[in-house]
Chains A and B, each alone.
Chain A
Amino acid sequence: MIHLLNAILVLVLMMNLFALGTSRIMTVIQTVAAQGALLSLIPLLAHGHLTLPVALATIAALALKGIAIPSMMAHALRDANIKREVEPLIGLLPSIILGALGTVFALLFASQLPLAGEHADSLLVPASFATMLTGFIFLTTRFKALSQVLGYLVLENGIFIFGMLLINVMPLMVEMGVLLDLFVGIFVICIIVNKINQSFSSMDTRQLVSLKE
C-alpha cells in the first residue's frame, strides 16, 4: 500500500514541476485539477478499508477539486479572455529549477524531522512541503489574478497532503469544513477576478497597487 501511495506522491511532485513550467493558464488549471483529483484518492489508500465517512470525503474532494473548482476557473478564464501568463517575475525555466530546489530542501528537511514510525518511509511530509513551496513560488512570481488563485490551490493541496498524516484522527466535519472554505474562497475570488478585469481592464494584480493609500 505504501508503494502505491508513494507512487501517487511522486506523480504529484512531477505535476508541481510541470505546472511551474507551463505558460498556458488553461494547462495549469488542468494540471492542478488532476493533482487535486489524484490527492482525493489518498484517503482511500491511507485507510486501507472503506468506511462511509472516508468514502464521503473522497467523493466530495473529488467533485470539488477535480470538477467544480476547475470548471469555475475555466469559466473565469474564458470571461477574462486571456490565455497565457506573460512576463512572470522570473522565467519558466528558473521557476522549474527553483521548484526542484524546493523539493530537494523539503526532502532534506523531512529527513531531519522526528516522525512517527509509520510515516518514516512514506513521502507524505516531503511531498507536502514541496507542494506548499510550489504554491508559494506561484504566488510570488506570477502576476495574473488567476495564477494567484492557482497558487493558493497548490498551497492548499500541500496542506491537504499534510493533513493525511492525521487522517485517522481528523473528524469528517473538519475535512468538510476545509473543503467548503476552499470552494467558497475560490468562488469569491473568481467573481473578484472578473471585477478586477472590468475595473482595471487587465488581470495584472500589480495594478492593485494604485488602491494603496
Chain B
Amino acid sequence: MSALNLIISALLLTAISGLPGLCFSRFSPWSQRIAVGFMSLGALAGLAGAGLALHHAPMTTAELPWPAIGQAMIGVDALSAFFLVPILLMGGLGSVYGLGYWSQQRHPGTGQKLRVFWGLLVAGMTLLTIGRHALSFLLGWEIMALSAFFLVTTEDQREESRRAGWIYLVATHVGTLTLFGLFVLWRWTTGSYILTPVASGTLSLGLMNGLFFLALFGFGLKSGLMPLHIWLPGAHACAPSHVSAMLSGVVLKTGVYGLVRFLSLFPDPPAAWGGLLLVLGAISGLLGVVYALAQHDLKRLLAYHSVENIGIIFMGLGVAMLGRSTHQPEWVVLGLAGCLLHVWNHSFFKALLFLCAGSVIHGARERRIDRLGGLAKVMPWTAALFLVGAVAICGLPPLNGFVSEFFVFLGLLRTALSNGAGMAAATLVPVLAVIGALALACFVKVYGAVFLGTPRLPPTTPVHESPVTMRGPMLALAACCVLIGLAPALVAPSLDRVIAIWWPGQTLTTPRLALLAPLNEISFLAITLVTLSAGLVWLLAPGRRRIPRVGTWDCGYAQPTSRMQYTASSFAQSLVGLFHWALRPHRVQPRLPEPFPATAAMHSHVDDAVLDRMILPAGQRMERLFGWFHRFQQGLVQHYVLYILITLLLMLSTLISFKDLLVRLFAR
C-alpha cells in the first residue's frame, strides 16, 4: 500500500470519526468509544503512511476527483509527511485523552459536537498538508479553521468562550482572505493554481515581495507570530484542554507549514526576507515569554509560550532563508533543521503541558495559578509529566527542546563566522539565550506555585489524580520528548530528506546534518545527565533514610496559613517590573490609611499589547466615527426594501439614455 493511499484512508477515517456517535443517545458511552476507535485507526494508518513517505523520498501524487476545479493535485513528499506526524499523533492521543477529560457521561451536551469537529479538524489539516493545488489547500485550510472555531466555542454558554471564538473567527477569516489574495496573485504570475516551484529569474522582485508579504501575513496570523497573535491567548485559554493542546501544538504549525512550503517554491529569495523573519521571530520570542511571565491563568500562560516558541521556529526559518539567499548550505541545513525539529518538539512538549494543565483542571477544578499549590503530593503523575514538559520547553538538556534550540544557536553562530550581512544575524544569539532564561524563570514560577508548597485550595476541595486514559497520552508525549532528547540522530535522516526537497534547484550539495551538528555528543551528554540525576534521586530517595517532618521556621508566628507562601505573582514581580515598558501592568490596590484597615483586595492584570491596546480602541473609535450611519439601519424591513428599490431603479436608469428619451418624447 502506498503512502498516499494510507494517508487518504487516514483522512477519511478521521473525517467521519465523530459521525457514528450522533446516532447514539446523548448518555451512551459508545458514541465516544467508536469515535476514539476511528480516530486511533486513522491516526495509525496515517502515521504509517507518513513514516513510509519520510523514508522513501520520491513524491507520490494523485488527482483529487473534484470536477469543479479540474485537477486538484494532492501528493505526499517528505515535507508533508514531516508535518503529518504531529497532526495525526496528536489527533489520536487527544481523542484518547478526551475519554477521561471530556467523557460523554459528564458532558452529554457538548461531547458529540466536540468529537465531530475534532475529527474534521484533523482531516482538514491532513488535507492541507497533502494539497498540491491552491484550492485543495484552501479547502483543507477552511475545514480546519471552521472546525477549530466550533472547538474553541465548545462551552458556548460561557461568555468568554464566545468572545474568544469570535476573535478567532475574525482573525482566521482575515488570514483566509489574505491567502485568497496570495493564490490569486500566484495564479496571475505563474498561470496555474498548482503549487510547484517556479523557475529561477521568471518573477520580478516586486511580485515576489508581494507574494512573500501576503504569505507572511496570512500564515503568520494562523501561526500566532507576535503582532498577529491576537486570537491566540483567548482561544487557547477558553477551549477544553485537549483542544488547546491541539491548537497550540498542531494548528499553529499549519501556518508554519504553509510558509515553509510556500518559501520552498521561490528559487532565489532576497536576503531581506530572511532578515525580516529573524527579527520578527526574535520579537515574537522575547515578547511572548515576557507576556507569559505576567499571566495569572495557567492556560493563558502556556498560550503565550506558544507565541515564544513560534518565534524560535521563525528564527530558524530566517537563518535558513538567509542561507539560501547567500548560498551558504550550512546555514540552510542548521536553520531549517532547527525550525522543523522545533515544530515537532513544540508540538510534543506544548501538547504535553496543555494536557497536564487539563489534568490539573480536571483534578482541582481551578486554573488560576495563585489559587493552586502542593498538587505534587496528590497528583504525582501529572506533576512528574509536567516537569518533563517544563524542562523540555525551557530548552534544557537532556530533553528535546535543547536539541532544536541548539541547532538554531549553531545556525546563528555560523552566520557570525561569515563576513557581511550574516554578521548582523549573530547579534540575535543573546536574544535567543535571554528567551531561554526567561522561559526557565517562568516555568520555575509555574511549577513552584502549582505543584510545590502547600495547597492553597480550601481543604474541602476533593483533588484527585487523573484516570489512566488521560495519563497514557501524556506519557506517550513525554516519551517522544525524552526519545528525541536522548537520540537526536534518529530524526536526522528524516530532517535531511526534508531539507533536500526544500531547496529546489540548488547547485551546491547540502551537507548532512550529522556532519554539522554534534549529534552523538548531545546523546552522550544527555545520557550522562540522566544517569547522574537518576543516581542523585536514588541517593536521596525517601525510602533510604528517614526524613524528619517538622514545621518550617515561621518567625515565631503562631498561625501560619498557606496564603503566606510565595505566590506566582510575587515570584515574577521583579521580572515583570524589569519589562514594565512592554507589559504596562495594571494594579488595582487599596490605600490602607489606618492601623486596623477593613478587609481589602488588590489585583493586577496585564492587557495584551495588540488586542487590548490597539485593535479594540481602534474599533471603538471606528464605531463612534460611523455612528451617523445607524440612522440608515433602523431595523425596519420597509426601509430595507426601499433601499433595494432605489438601487434597482438607479441601476435600471443607467440603461436608459436620457438624451434619446428626451428627443423622442419631444419629437412626438
**Are both chains from one complex?**
yes
- Enumerate chain A interface residues (CB-CB to B < 8 A): 89, 108-109, 111-113, 133, 136, 139-143, 148, 205-206, 208-209, 211-212
Contacts of B642 in A (CB 8 A): 136, 140
**Complex alpha-carbon distance, A139 and B660, angstroms:** 32
Size range of the chain B interface in the assembly: 10 to 19
Contacts of A141 in B (CB 8 A): 638
A112, A133, A208, A211, most chain B CB atoms within 10 A = A112
Contacts of A142 in B (CB 8 A): 638
Contacts of B655 in A (CB 8 A): 109, 112-113
Q: Is B537 in contact with chain A by the CB < 8 A criterion?
A: no
Contact partner of A205 (CB less than 8 A), chosen from B634, B637, B652, is: B637
Q: Is B657 in contact with chain A by the CB < 8 A criterion?
A: yes
Contacts A140-B641, A212-B635 supplied; 9 other A-B pairs, CB < 8 Å: A108-B656, A111-B664, A112-B657, A113-B655, A136-B642, A136-B645, A140-B639, A205-B638, A208-B637
Contacts of A109 in B (CB 8 A): 652, 655-656
Contact partner of A206 (CB less than 8 A), chosen from B636, B645, B657, is: B636
Is there an interface contact between B637 and A148, defined as CB atoms closer than 8 Å? yes
Is there an interface contact between B641 and A208, defined as CB atoms closer than 8 Å? no
- Enumerate chain B interface residues (CB-CB to A < 8 A): 634-639, 641-642, 644-645, 652, 655-657, 660-661, 664
Q: Which chain B residue shows the least CB distance to A133? A: B645
Contacts of B664 in A (CB 8 A): 111
Is there an interface contact between B635 and A211, defined as CB atoms closer than 8 Å? yes
* Nearest CB on B from A212, distance (A): 3
Contacts of A139 in B (CB 8 A): 637-638, 641
Contacts of B660 in A (CB 8 A): 112
Is there an interface contact between A209 and B638, defined as CB atoms closer than 8 Å? no
Is there an interface contact between A89 and B638, defined as CB atoms closer than 8 Å? yes
Contacts of B644 in A (CB 8 A): 136
* Nearest CB on A from B664, distance (A): 8
**Complex alpha-carbon distance, A133 and B652, angstroms:** 12
Is there an interface contact between B638 and A143, defined as CB atoms closer than 8 Å? yes
**Complex alpha-carbon distance, A140 and B655, angstroms:** 24
**Complex alpha-carbon distance, A109 and B648, angstroms:** 13
* Given A109-B656, A112-B655; A140-B635 close (CB under 8 Å): no
* Given A205-B638, A208-B635, A209-B635; A112-B661 close (CB under 8 Å): yes
Contact partner of A136 (CB less than 8 A), chosen from B637, B641, B652, is: B641
Is there an interface contact between B641 and A112, defined as CB atoms closer than 8 Å? no
Contacts of B656 in A (CB 8 A): 108-109, 112
Contacts of A112 in B (CB 8 A): 655-657, 660-661
19 intermolecular pairs with C-beta atoms under 8 Å apart: A89-B638, A108-B656, A109-B652, A112-B656, A112-B660, A133-B645, A136-B641, A136-B644, A139-B637, A139-B638, A140-B638, A140-B645, A205-B636, A205-B637, A205-B638, A206-B636, A208-B636, A209-B635, A212-B634
**Complex alpha-carbon distance, A136 and B652, angstroms:** 15
Contacts of A211 in B (CB 8 A): 635
Contact partner of A209 (CB less than 8 A), chosen from B634, B641, B652, B657, is: B634
**Complex alpha-carbon distance, A113 and B639, angstroms:** 29
**Complex alpha-carbon distance, A176 and B368, angstroms:** 62
Contacts of B657 in A (CB 8 A): 112
**Complex alpha-carbon distance, A117 and B460, angstroms:** 91
**Complex alpha-carbon distance, A144 and B660, angstroms:** 42
* Nearest CB on B from A205, distance (A): 6
Contacts of A205 in B (CB 8 A): 636-638
**Complex alpha-carbon distance, A111 and B668, angstroms:** 14
Q: Which chain B residue shows the least CB distance to A114? A: B655
* Given A109-B652, A112-B655; A209-B636 close (CB under 8 Å): yes
Contacts of B637 in A (CB 8 A): 139, 148, 205, 208
* Nearest CB on B from A177, distance (A): 23
**Complex alpha-carbon distance, A206 and B644, angstroms:** 18
* Nearest CB on B from A172, distance (A): 28
Is there an interface contact between A108 and B661, defined as CB atoms closer than 8 Å? yes
**Complex alpha-carbon distance, A109 and B645, angstroms:** 16
**Complex alpha-carbon distance, A212 and B634, angstroms:** 8
Contacts of B634 in A (CB 8 A): 209, 212
Instruction: List the 5 closest A-B pairs by CB distance, nearest first.
Output: A212-B635, A209-B635, A139-B641, A140-B642, A136-B645
Contacts of A209 in B (CB 8 A): 634-636
* Nearest CB on A from B590, distance (A): 38
* Nearest CB on B from A203, distance (A): 13
**Complex alpha-carbon distance, A164 and B410, angstroms:** 78
Q: Which chain A residue shows the least CB distance to B634? A: A209
B641, B642, B652, most chain A CB atoms within 10 A = B641
**Complex alpha-carbon distance, A201 and B644, angstroms:** 29
**Complex alpha-carbon distance, A208 and B637, angstroms:** 9
* Nearest CB on B from A94, distance (A): 15
* Nearest CB on B from A121, distance (A): 17
**Complex alpha-carbon distance, A133 and B642, angstroms:** 11
Contacts of B641 in A (CB 8 A): 136, 139-140
Q: Which chain A residue shows the least CB distance to B658? A: A112
Contacts of A133 in B (CB 8 A): 645
**Complex alpha-carbon distance, A89 and B642, angstroms:** 12
* Nearest CB on A from B211, distance (A): 40
**Complex alpha-carbon distance, A91 and B652, angstroms:** 27
Contacts of A108 in B (CB 8 A): 656, 661
* Nearest CB on A from B646, distance (A): 10
**Complex alpha-carbon distance, A111 and B645, angstroms:** 21
B639, B657, B661, most chain A CB atoms within 10 A = B661
* Nearest CB on A from B516, distance (A): 60
**Complex alpha-carbon distance, A89 and B638, angstroms:** 10
Contacts of B638 in A (CB 8 A): 89, 139-143, 205
Q: Which chain B residue shows the least CB distance to A139? A: B641
**Complex alpha-carbon distance, A148 and B657, angstroms:** 34
**Complex alpha-carbon distance, A28 and B455, angstroms:** 77
**Complex alpha-carbon distance, A109 and B650, angstroms:** 12
**Complex alpha-carbon distance, A143 and B644, angstroms:** 17
Q: Which chain A residue shows the least CB distance to B660? A: A112
* Nearest CB on A from B632, distance (A): 13
**Complex alpha-carbon distance, A142 and B634, angstroms:** 16
**Complex alpha-carbon distance, A139 and B645, angstroms:** 10
**Complex alpha-carbon distance, A89 and B636, angstroms:** 12
**Complex alpha-carbon distance, A136 and B638, angstroms:** 9
**Complex alpha-carbon distance, A109 and B655, angstroms:** 9
**Complex alpha-carbon distance, A142 and B655, angstroms:** 30
Q: Which chain A residue shows the least CB distance to B656? A: A112
Contacts of A143 in B (CB 8 A): 638
Contacts of B661 in A (CB 8 A): 108, 112
Q: Which chain A residue shows the least CB distance to B635? A: A212
Contacts of B636 in A (CB 8 A): 205-206, 208-209
**Complex alpha-carbon distance, A106 and B161, angstroms:** 54
